[in-house]
Amino acid sequence: MNNVTEVGNITGDIKLTFANSGTAIASFSIAVTKKRGEEKVTSYFDCTAFGPLAEQVSKVLEKGNRVIVAGSLDQRSYEDKQGNKRSAVSILVDSVGPEIRFDSWTRDEN
């Protein structure tokens, strides 16, 4: 198993769809910025959650939230529109939650 844990910000709206079997599928991307020496490097990961987790993700999380995503890496190969061979790596999500160290979550002050 190739486990991975990343901390990053959700880059866009979460897309919730359902498979023919009725299983919920949540798709979202995160941006992960790491410092390498004096340089900051940002990587983007597509993430996919399934079942009850997918439904909860779509209800609770939104663009800009800082999250911790744990899961396994999934690599796929494909051809782009120009016929070039490409490869993409995504995260199949086992768990996801808020990363509150930098307080990116809004709070009701009332």
CA distance 38 to 45: 23
Using an 8 Å Cβ cutoff, are 28 and 61 in contact? yes
Q: What is the mean pLDDT of residues 32-60?
A: 95
Taking residues 57-85, what's their average pLDDT?
Answer: 94
**Which residues contact residue 15 at a Cβ distance below 8 angstroms, ignoring those fewer than 6 apart?**
26, 27, 28
Q: Is the pLDDT of residue 36 over 60?
A: yes
Given a cut of 70, whether residue 108 has pLDDT beyond it is: no
Structure tokens at 68: 């911790």
Q: One-letter amino acid identity for 61?
A: L
The phi-psi region of residue 52 (left if phi > 0; otherwise alpha if psi is between -120 and 50; otherwise beta) is alpha
What confidence tier does 46 reach under pLDDT thresholds 50, 70, 90?
A: very high
Selected from 3.90.870.10, 3.40.50.10420, 1.10.3720.10, 2.40.50.140, the CATH number assigned to the domain covering 3-98 reads 2.40.50.140
pTM, 2 dp: 0.84
Predicted confidence at residue 102, as pLDDT, reads 66
What is the percentage of the chain residues whose pLDDT exceeds 90? Answer: 80
> Residue 101 — very low, low, confident or very high, per pLDDT cuts 50/70/90?
confident
**3-state DSSP: the chain helix, strand, coil percent, rounded to 5?**
10, 60, 30
Residue ranges of domains in the chain: 3-98
Asked whether the predicted pLDDT for residue 26 surpasses 70, the reply is yes
